[in-house]
Amino acid sequence: MANQPWKTNDWFVSEWNYADEVRKDFKFAKNIKVHDVTLRDGEQQTGIILTKDEKIRIAEGLAEAGVHRIEAGMPIVSPSDNEAIKEIVKRNLGPQIFSFARCMKEDVQRSIDTGVSGVVMEIPSSKHMVDIAYRWPMEKAIETSIEATKFAHDNGLEVVFFPIDFSRAEMKWALDLIERVAKEGHMDALALVDTFGVVSPHAMRYFVREVQKRINKRLEAHFHQDFGMGVANTIMALAEGVEVMHTTVLGIGERSGNTPMEETVMALKTMYGVDIGIDCTKLTPLANLVQQLTGVAVPSNKPIVGSALYQIESGIIASWFKNCGEKFATELFPIRWSAVGQPAAKVVMGKGSGIDSVNLWLQQAGMQVSDEDALKITAAVKAHSLKTKKLLTEAEFREIAKGVIGKRSAA
């Protein structure tokens, strides 16, 4: 299968993804990194509150999955956040630890005190943001940014510029501002920030290329999901040479959330042949941990990590599964369950079930019935599921089957 990267033992995607015509302009960096922002931007989702210990548990899970960088939080937010960042740094988990800060010396000093090696620093990037949101005189915004970024660099921190609302700024104006702050202050990398998720995938290439014309620094992609474009836009940016992707587990975050890590990592690996070194078998356990600690409601059909992805109710799919078995699982699923840490596929019982599903469950229950009774059980299963609007438990199925058999015996 080495010459068929679209079809391996663990996935089966479209061969078209690997056509020369499709891939000829790709400029993926050799070492793409994941910069996880679950503990900072993710926690900004309404209603999510993480304690110090919970943040440490998530950081450990991220490290186990092989995440390269963790944005552990914003020290100035609360004493608990500050202590969590310090403890995560102290544990030396493996990933590089960053904090987040406003372009103010006080914020930067808090980051320095936590022991992090890098800081993501938000700077204003549009006139309307400075005037309306910050309500600062423009020169104050610029001078504060220059002073703070230089201070961070002088104290040994790696500095990533984070221009808030970059994607709604006037391009030349924003780049002029960024160049001035970088020249008079300091910048190691620049984040392409789509704060409100408003860039289309077709416009992302333009965005990246225009910045590359002016900025000769490492670029990082930080995109939101307001129009559901985060994964597509992140991959478009990476294909243009952007080196770091900012993501959250489950895509949690402000409003509709951030680019979800699990979807982006698996799309890169299967559709583009770009393996960025994440242990994908840890994706589902990590997602389950974050769901448990944050209390967020995760759709059962959530890509990659949804709890119902490998449950088979449809009668026709159950028949396919019977024929394909585990060996040919990717005929039914684009990704094998074990590749992403999911439980094995199983046939469930509900309104959509067919005769093959019923016969399988009868076999598992050690019950032998006639073809006629199997059809009656199938009809009864459908009626029961329609009434309860739920899948059946094994106990409910046994009761229905015994009821059908009992009536026939009585007759």
Instruction: Tell whether 239 and 331 lie within a shared domain.
Output: no
Instruction: Tell whether 83 and 123 lie within a shared domain.
Output: yes
**233 close to 204: Cβ distance less than 8 angstroms:** yes
Of 266, 294, 322, the domain-final residue = 294
CA distances from 141 to 27, 193, 245 (A): 35, 18, 27
The answer for residues whose C-beta is within 8 angstroms of residue 283's C-beta and 6 or more apart is 65, 261, 262, 265, 266, 304, 305, 340, 341
Say what the pLDDT of residue 149 is.
Answer: 95
Q: What is the pLDDT along the chain (411 residues), one digit of tens a residue?
A: 457 999 999 999 999 999 999 999 999 999 999 999 999 999 999 999 999 999 999 999 999 999 999 999 999 888 999 999 999 999 999 999 999 999 889 999 999 999 999 999 998 776 666 666 566 667 777 888 899 999 999 999 999 999 999 999 999 989 998 999 899 999 999 999 999 999 999 999 999 999 999 999 999 999 999 999 999 999 999 999 999 999 999 999 999 999 999 999 999 999 999 999 999 999 999 999 999 999 999 999 999 999 999 999 998 898 888 888 889 999 999 999 999 999 999 999 999 999 999 999 999 999 989 999 999 999 999 999 999 999 999 999 999 999 888 765 444
Of 294, 321, 342, the domain-final residue = 294
Asked if residue 304 belongs to a domain, the reply is no
CA distances from 144 to 114, 123, 130, 379 (A): 22, 9, 12, 71
Task: Give the tokens for residue 326.
Answer: 């585990």
Instruction: Tell whether 211 and 323 lie within a shared domain.
Output: no
Beta bridge partners of 120: 100, 160
Asked if residue 396 belongs to a domain, the reply is yes
DSSP character string of 324-359? HTTTTGGGT-SB-GGGGTPPPPEE--STT--HHHHH
DSSP state, residue 159: E
Q: Three-class SS of residue 390?
A: coil
- Residue 216 domain boundaries: 15-294
Instruction: Tell whether 270 and 213 lie within a shared domain.
Output: yes
Asked if residue 244 belongs to a domain, the reply is yes
Instruction: Tell whether 171 and 240 lie within a shared domain.
Output: yes
Instruction: Tell whether 363 and 245 lie within a shared domain.
Output: no
Instruction: Tell whether 234 and 330 lie within a shared domain.
Output: no
Task: Give the tokens for residue 256.
Answer: 């509709």
Of 267, 294, 321, the domain-final residue = 294
Asked if residue 112 belongs to a domain, the reply is yes
Instruction: Tell whether 316 and 399 lie within a shared domain.
Output: yes
Instruction: Read off the pTM.
Output: 0.92
**Alpha helices in 13-51, H assignment, sequence order:** 20-23
Say what the pLDDT of residue 105 is.
Answer: 92
Burial class (CB in 10 A: 0-12, 13-18, 19+), 3: exposed
Instruction: Tell whether 276 and 227 lie within a shared domain.
Output: yes
Give the span between the Cα atoms of 41 and 100, in whole angstroms: 9
One-letter amino acid for residue 46 of the chain: T
Left if phi > 0, otherwise alpha if psi is -120 to 50, otherwise beta: which for 73?
left
Task: Give the tokens for residue 20.
Answer: 């020369």
Instruction: Tell whether 323 and 279 lie within a shared domain.
Output: no
Asked if residue 111 belongs to a domain, the reply is yes
One-letter amino acid for residue 320 of the chain: W
Report which of 195, 192, 180, 174 is spatially closest to residue 236, judged by C-alpha positions: 192
Asked if residue 4 belongs to a domain, the reply is no
Instruction: Tell whether 208 and 324 lie within a shared domain.
Output: no
Asked if residue 21 belongs to a domain, the reply is yes
Asked if residue 159 belongs to a domain, the reply is yes
Say what the pLDDT of residue 132 is.
Answer: 62
Give the span between the Cα atoms of 341 and 227, in whole angstroms: 28
Instruction: Tell whether 214 and 283 lie within a shared domain.
Output: yes
Q: What CATH number is attached to the domain comprising 58?
A: 3.20.20.70
User: Total structural domains in the chain?
Assistant: 2
Task: Give the tokens for residue 157.
Answer: 């921190």
One-letter amino acid for residue 24 of the chain: K
